[in-house]
Amino acid sequence: MSLSRMLENWSDLNKQDYYEDEPIMWGMSIDLNKCTGCGSCVTACYAENNIPTVGKEKCGSGHSMHWLRIERYWDEPEGEADLDIKESEYPERGAHFAPMMCQQCNHAPCEPVCPVAATYHTPDGLNAQVYNRCIGSRYCGTNCPYKVRYFNFFDFQEDIPHPLEMLLNPDLTVRSKGVMEKCTFCVQRLRSAKDAAADEGVRGHVADGAVQTACQQSCPTEAIVFGNLKDDKSKVSESWQSHNVELDRHEQFNEDERGYRIFEELNVEPSVMYLDRVRNTEA
Amino acid sequence: MRRRAKHFLFATFDDFEKAIEVISDLKRLDAKEDIISDIELYSPIEHPEVEEMLGEFHQPIQRFSFFGGITGAILGFIFAAGVGQSMFTVQPQGGKSVITIPPDIIIAYEMTILLGVLSTVAAFLIYAGLPRRLKKYYDHTVSVDQIGIEVETDPENNEKVRAVLQRCGALEIREETQ
Amino acid sequence: MSDYSMKNDIEWAKINEDVLASLESPRKAFWVVLGVCFALVLAGAAAEIYQYNNGLGVALMNNPHYWQTYISNFVFWIGMSHSGTLLSAILLLTHADWRKPIYRFAEAMTFFSILTAAIFPIIHIGRVWDMYWILPYPDQRAIWPNFRSPLLWDAFAITTYATSSALFLYIGMIPDLAICRDKAKGWRKKLYTTLSLGWMGRATEWIAFRRTYVLLACFLVPLAVSVHSIVASDFAMSIMPGWHVTSFPPYFVAGALYSGCAAIITLFVLLRYVFKFEAYMTTEIMDKTARLTFAIAMAWNFLNLSEYASIWYSHDMFEHEMLIDKFTGPYAGVVWSMLFCATVVPFAMAFKKVRHNMWAMFWVSLFIQLGMWLERFQIVSPPLASNHEPWTQSVVWPGLIQLTITAASFGWFTMLFLIFCKVFPSVSMYEVKEMVYHRNKHGQKKLQNIDKIKDDMIKTEEGLS
């Protein structure tokens, strides 16, 4: 049976972009000019996705589970004004924040290496992680160039003190030890939005703005835009188009535009576009 | 119908050269009088020359290896591509197609070798007639440094065969009827 | 040089006696070593139980360092397993008769190092209790493992390799088990009677045996090469800088042969000393093994240097950073010790004096193995410490749990090997007999030839005059 299935659909199964004709592909755009590094997206992410807080000690030993993290880099101070404080560890300016979460790569390096197929690509362009299926070989983590996969090195859920387990989000699982977890663009929200649309009789389309990820919802400066990349009129695809960023490129040829995707030269096809920070060095 | 009892003579020799002599003598005797049903040689090490003396052994072990390997290759590929990858839970990963040929070739390669090895070992057991019980007259010295010659013949020809064995310097001759 | 090579007039009965003597009740030292190894295994088991109960975090791995010594130990032991079967098979196919006294323990080493290596994925994995999901079995949910994953290829390759090399070892041992059966008493008699399958040395058995043995060798050579290439694919198929190297498969195979040859030398010296096998494990064989090891060492060094060169001239920013970090960063000590142990030390084998000195070779081989262990560590850890994402770059050294389990793996291997040496003959008796027999025959033939040539020459001279 499966053999006949293989032979009948041979050309289909050998096609490269299997989900080409699907109506939805979730994508994001993050404007670093607007990001202040306040960290409310991180907090929202923790609250929405039942992410364990590990405490000071385990955070120090590198076991923290922040699916979304704010990376802070310090640019080389430019211009005259900074010269006298160049030696200081934290110069007056030059801080650069990059919210980093799973980029939902279309050619994700983490997917094909999982021995039990616990991570795979969903028809709506997400990089799904099936917690129940994961056996914790951690190959996906090593192969992720962004290192945004987090492994449950301990049984963190055991440490939740009594009444606080009431805070957990019932829409998704609480992960036990030995399981890899990661950002899924709040897949529980996307699913319920799709279901709501289906209830109204619309299949394969979710109105722009009908669903927000937790980080997008909580960002005070609206630096994060989220939506369907295959819908030309959605905010996120307008943002991608206006900054001349396209899929299927391993380098964006736009000298004057700010748009880029992180590590796109690795040919992993991330679905998150970043807009570079512009600085006035004269002031 | 009652099976006719088999009668064996088992002689040990301390030198392979002598055993060669015995076998050629016995063959000559057999050609003349047709009294010997079977000759078998017991040795502590392998003597490839034996094949020329006792006649060709029909042991197509390599055929088993070949067909085992082919079966492994086909099964491995069908297993990975047909059963595993094109089942109902189709999972495109990393932008790759559902049936990815190079990994399936690796699976098929390993299965080729696994089934090839297993069928070779099975063929070995079949053609070597193992596992089996030890024969009663089996002599332990054969596993040290002596050569044993087993002759299957009728009890009435016993003396003729025994004479040949003795002439070539047999150390010990045992008789057994099964 | 009286004991340089094996004597040709050695009596066959003496071969049996000498080898079977190694199975008799051991000395006190044996029990001490076995006890130490067993204690190590117990310590490792305790560490594993602690880690199992508390989670893998107690081993001090963290988020960029998802993989650490469990993986490097896995690669190390798989590598160790290579030279036994591979060398035995290659030397069998090339009719190199000096393999005969050493191949049995080399193959046993292969099998036990696979058994050791097979433990590490179990220790490494996050949810051991669901480990069987990696096996391709049909179930009602129609979920299959992912055939694209190099880890699954590993599962296939290692199953195949363990099965085939165990069968190769066993089939090659049947005639010897028959010898043991004829001599043994008590429980050993029962064991050997069962295992020897009623082998009597009949011509039918021998002919089938030889054909099977050569066929198995033909299967094992490509298999062994593929197994370590697949282990190398675990790294080469990923996109990590420092792992994504096309030359990894041959590099790993060379490294596997290299560390395996060193292990053979170590065990060679030890067995020769403990069981007084001086008559069989001769200096000649050591000399040849050392030459082979030296050649493999040079091949490995070439591949190692060409890997550095290909990274350096690739002009890939990430790879460059990784290479510079490797040689100057926090893991530089590991890398430089590795280069000393595995690149500089083997040059000692270029000298005849070293090759012919058993204890010198013993130390050289230990250094090489240390170097090769460090090599596996420096393949796994430093690239993770200098990965693509600068925010996550951090240095983590293996903790106490990991080191205990690493030590336990050595104890486990030694324990199994010691038990093997006392239960099964560690030198192949029938093949040594064959070697003696054929050398004798060839020797006589050669002498006859020389006589004949001399006769001919005399005749020709006579004819001329």
- The residue extents of the domains of chain B are 7-44+144-177, 61-128
Is the bond into B131 cis (omega within 30 degrees of 0)?
A: yes
Distance CA C340, CA C335 (A): 9
Report the percent of chain C where pLDDT is more than 70.
94
Q: How far is C181 from chain B (nearest CA, A)?
A: 9
User: Do A128 and A141 touch, CB atoms closer than 8 A?
Assistant: no
Whether A135 sits inside 8 A of C65 (CB atoms) is no
pLDDT of residue B3: 58
Distance CA C58, CA C405 (A): 13
**In A, which residues are within 8 Å of B82 by CB distance?**
2-3, 5-6
| B160 reaches C (C-beta below 8 A) | no
Nearest CA among A226, A270, A225 for reference residue A248: A270
- Got the DSSP string for A254-268? -SS--EE-TTGGGT-
* Chain A residues with a Cβ under 8 Å from any Cβ in chain C: 58, 61-64, 69, 71, 73, 100, 109, 112-117, 133-139, 141-143, 145-147, 150-155, 177-180, 263, 266, 268
Q: Which of B144, B150, B174 to mutate to test the interface with C (most CBs of C within 10 A)?
A: B144
Burial per residue of A15-52, b for 16 or more beta-carbon CB atoms within 10 angstroms, e otherwise: eeebeeeeebbbbbbbbbeebeeeebbbebbbebbbbb
Q: What is the pLDDT of residue B34?
A: 73
Tell me what pLDDT residue B94 has: 80
Distance from CA of C62 to the nearest CA of A (A): 5
Rounded Cα distance, A267 and A106, in Å: 9
pLDDT the model gives residue C84? 83
CB distance C418 to A176 below 8 Å: no
Q: What is the DSSP letter of B149?
A: E
> What is the ipTM score, two decimals?
0.89
Contacting C residues, span 381-410, partner chain A, CB-CB under 8 Å: 384, 387-392, 394, 396
List strand residue ranges (DSSP E) for C111-249, in order.
none
Q: Which helix (H) or strand (E) holds A272?
A: strand A272-275
Residues in contact with C324: Cβ distance below 8 Å, sequence separation at least 6, in sequence order: none
Q: A with B: how many residue pairs have Cβ under 8 Å apart?
A: 65
Using a CB-CB cut-off of 8 Å, the residues of chain A touching B104 are none
Q: What is the mean pLDDT of chain C?
A: 87
* Domains of chain A by residue range: 24-77+90-275
- In terms of DSSP bridges, do strands A95-100 and B36-42 run parallel, antiparallel, or are they unpaired? unpaired
Element (H, E) at C162: helix C150-183
Interface contact flag, A117 B93, Cβ < 8 Å:
yes
Q: How many residues does chain A have?
A: 283
DSSP B150-163: EEEE-GGGHHHHHH
Shortest alpha-carbon distance between residue B9 and chain C (Å):
15
- Asked if A142 and C238 come within 8 Å (Cβ–Cβ), the reply is yes
Residue of B61, B85, B113 lying closest to C219 (CB–CB): B113
Q: What would be the CATH architecture of the domain defined by B7-44+144-177?
A: 2-Layer Sandwich (3.30)
Residues C247-281 have pLDDT tens digits of 899 999 999 999 999 999 999 898 888 888 887 88
- Quick check: C97 contacting B, CB < 8 Å? no
Which of A275, A276, A230, A268 has its CA nearest to residue A250?
Answer: A268
Give the model's pLDDT for residue C43: 95
Partner residue facing A112 (CB), from B78, B90, B94: B94
Suggest the residue from C10, C205, C435 to mutate for an interface test with chain B (most B CBs closer than 10 A).
C205
C101, C281 in Cβ contact below 8 A? yes
CB contacts < 8 A, A to C, total 137
Token couple for A102: 């799973």
Question: Which two three-digit tokens encode residue C251?
Answer: 């590099």
| Coil vs helix vs strand at C457 | helix
Nearest residue to A140 via CA among A96, A186, A109, A101 = A109
Residue C201 has its nearest CB partner, among B111, B123, B143, at: B143
Task: Please determine, for residue C200, whether its predicted confidence score (pLDDT) is greater than 80.
Answer: yes
pLDDT given for residue C454 in this prediction: 67
Subunits next to A (3 or more Cβ pairs <8 Å) are B, C
Per-residue tokens: B122: 């099975």
CB B97 within 8 A of CB A13: yes
**Residue C58 contacts by C-beta under 8 Å, 6 or more apart in sequence?**
C50, C51, C399, C401
Q: Where do the DSSP E strands lie in chain B?
A: 7-13, 36-42, 147-153, 172-177
Name the residue among C121, C108, C83 with its Cα closest to residue C166.
Answer: C108
CATH class of A24-77+90-275: alpha beta
Choose among C380, C239, C242, C251: nearest CA to C321: C242
> With a CB-CB cutoff of 8 Å, which residues 123-142 of chain C face chain A?
124-128, 130-131, 133-134
Q: At what angle do helices B158-167 and B16-33 cross, to 10 degrees?
A: 150
Q: Give CA torsion, residues A220, A221, A224, A225, to 10 deg.
A: 110
Q: Which residues contact C279 (CB under 8 A, 6 or more apart)?
A: C3, C6, C7, C10, C18
- Residues whose CB is less than 8 angstroms from the CB of residue C315 and which lie 6 or more positions away in sequence, other chains included: none
Distance of residue C384 Cα from the nearest chain A Cα, in angstroms: 7
Tens digits of residue pLDDT in A98-120:
999 999 999 999 999 999 989 98
Largest CA distance in chain A: 76
**CA-based nearest residue in chain B for residue C20:** B144
Residue C407: CB atoms within 10 Å? 15
The CA distance from A34 to C398, in Å, is 41
Cβ contacts of C371 within 8 Å, gap of 6 or more: C337, C338, C339, C340, C341, C342, C343, C345
- Predicted pLDDT of residue C293: 92
Please report, in tens digits, the pLDDT of each residue of chain A (283 residues total): 677 777 777 777 777 777 888 889 999 999 998 998 899 999 999 999 999 988 899 888 889 999 999 998 877 655 555 545 555 555 556 778 899 999 999 999 999 999 998 998 888 889 999 999 999 999 999 999 999 999 999 998 888 888 888 889 999 889 988 899 999 999 999 999 999 999 998 887 888 888 999 999 999 999 999 999 988 889 999 999 988 888 888 888 777 788 899 998 888 989 999 998 887 666 5
Low-confidence ranges of chain B (pLDDT < 70): 1-5, 88-89, 178
Could you give the 3-state DSSP secondary structure of residue C210? helix
Three-state SS string over C407-452 comes to HHHHHHHHHHHHHHHHHCCCCCHHHHHHHHHHHHHHHHHHHHHHHH
By the CB < 8 Å criterion, does C148 face chain B?
yes
* pLDDT, tens only, B66-105: 999 999 999 998 888 877 777 766 778 887 888 888 888 9
